[in-house]
A and B are shown apart, each in its own frame.
Chain A
Amino acid sequence: MKYALFLGCTVPVRAQHYELSARNTAHALGIEFEEMSGASCCGFPMKAVDAETSLLIAARNISIASALNLNIITLCNSCTAMLSDAQLELQNNSFYRKCKELGFAFPHDVTVKHYVRMLYEDIGIAKIKAAVKKPLSALNVIAHYGCHYMRPSYLYGFDDPEVPHTFDELVTATGATSVKYPDKKMCCGGSVLGVDEALAVTMANHKLQIAKTEAADALISICPFCTVMYEDNQRKAEEKFETQYNLPVLYYPQLLGLSFGLDKNAVGFRFNRVRPTALLAKVGGES
């Protein structure tokens, strides 16, 4: 199985451990990625300014995968929503004409899927379970979906936007327990970070507090933006709310790689800001 990998802005320079673990777990499952040379930002950062500009930037990225005749895999929830939005918009004649005017060609129809959705739909839980060599049964983790993994449902038509379950199943496939917890769909606050930092940190704190109450070993993220909130801003939340979390935030492919028994360097645990030392000790690994 071969896909075009769309990296976006944050992952290739700020979350290499996500990219590294995603590539290595994909490889272990027999998935091949082709690079999208010339791909830019997905366009989402310009959506609030001018929706058309953001859609055109996204459409140009789609045209790159279309030339390769490969379906797109994304690692960021917002990139997934933005590219999917443009994919839908391409059916609108006036938008398509504008793309043509800009010289974008779409020789092949391609789909857009988040890496996690691809694992769920194209690989399947059974195959993933079969690849697990070191079941992580000692771990209790909080699965954080993030907003744009399954919403808006009119773009995706995937999973249940109110009671999502696909990511929990994938977490459970590693042998870990996906803790049942309240306010599962709570937004990380990432989108308001640039507008009101105190509000964004308060939003992130909500789930950090829940993870503490549930005594979770880690929060599992599938979006670099959510990780910015839960990991990079964890210290700020601790200061603001006068508490201690020390909660590791792992990207799902890191957890998956751990269960596959991949080498620690193949999943990049040394790049996690909150060191998962205690977590790794529990499963008999080292950081």
Chain B
Amino acid sequence: MIDLKNADVNFKWEIIKHEGGEQLLKCFGCSDCAASCPVRYFDERYNPRKIIRLTLLGLKEQVLSSPFLWFCAHCHACTERCPQGIPVAELINAIKNYAVENGFCPEGYKVQFDLLKKLGRLYEVEDFDLKKRQKLGLPPIDKTIPEVVKILEYTGIEKVVKR
């Protein structure tokens, strides 16, 4: 049963403003995305069509607080099949971005953010790694790339992630 009492009619306009969300209104709900989805093949709790319908209906809380939003593997199987030409994986990503802005950032992404800020990469490059590379005849790599911090400061993403 869908209750529209608390629907936010502006929710869809917010998503459309986000990178990747521009084509949201084209969806006519055919379910090709759900039928092509490898994640849904194994776990029906993730359903891209349902997420898109709920977004169009304005059921903001339900969409943003759902842990299943994050099940999208961004594999683009849906994008290739959408008869409306919507880059569905990008649309789901736009909803994820909006969820983060509204304080729903999964812990794993906070950890990745901290690593990128500290190192500029996801894995710490230890002296051991550099020695191993040298032994294999591989060229040295930078341990940290501080220039990434400049980008994170420019977009102001830290305060959004930590919201």
* Interface positions of A (Cβ within 8 A of B): 7, 9-10, 12-14, 16, 19-20, 23, 35, 37-41, 45-53, 55-57, 60, 98, 101-102, 147-148, 151-154, 161-162, 185-187, 189-192, 194-196, 199, 202-203, 206, 268
Contact = CB atoms under 8 A, between A and B. Distances in A.
Interface stretch (B7-15, B27-35, B36-44, B56-64): B36-44
Given A13-B125, A41-B116, A203-B42, A48 B76 contact: no
A19 B79 contact: no
Nearest to B88: A152
A203 B43 CA distance: 10
A20 B137 CA distance: 8
A244 B163 CA distance: 45
**Most-contacted residue by chain B among A9, A20, A55, A268 (CB, 10 A):** A9
A16 B100 contact: no
Given A37-B142, A38-B142, A190-B73, 14 more contacts: A10-B123, A13-B129, A23-B138, A40-B120, A45-B112, A51-B18, A57-B116, A60-B151, A148-B75, A151-B76, A152-B76, A189-B73, A191-B73, A202-B42
Contacts of A50: 97, 100, 155, 157, 160
A45 B119 CA distance: 13
Contacts of B138: 12, 16, 19-20, 23
**Most-contacted residue by chain A among B76, B77, B89, B105 (CB, 10 A):** B76
17 contacts: A12-B141, A13-B125, A20-B138, A38-B142, A38-B145, A40-B145, A46-B157, A50-B157, A51-B18, A60-B148, A147-B75, A187-B77, A191-B72, A192-B39, A192-B70, A192-B71, A195-B106
A52 B39 contact: no
Given A12-B141, A203-B38, A46 B112 contact: yes
Interface of B: 18-20, 38-39, 42-43, 67, 70-77, 79-80, 87, 89, 93-94, 96-97, 100, 105-106, 108-109, 112-113, 116, 120-123, 125, 129, 132-133, 136-139, 141-142, 145, 147-148, 150-152, 154-155, 157, 160-161
A191 B75 contact: yes
Which 9 pairs show the lowest CB-CB distances between chains A and B?
A: A191-B73, A147-B75, A194-B108, A40-B145, A151-B76, A9-B122, A51-B19, A40-B120, A187-B75
Contact of B93 (A41, A47, A162, A192): A47
A14 B123 contact: yes
B13 to A, nearest CB: 18
Contacts of B132: 16
**Most-contacted residue by chain B among A12, A47, A196 (CB, 10 A):** A12
Nearest to B123: A13
Given A38-B147, A186-B38, A16 B73 contact: no
Nearest to B122: A9
A7 to B, nearest CB: 7
Nearest to A47: B93
**Most-contacted residue by chain B among A9, A10, A53, A147 (CB, 10 A):** A53
Contact of A52 (B72, B129, B147, B155): B155
A56 B151 contact: yes
B64 to A, nearest CB: 13
Contact of B87 (A154, A162, A185, A189): A154
Contacts of A195: 67, 70-71, 106, 108
Given A9-B123, A49-B105, A53-B152, A20 B136 contact: yes
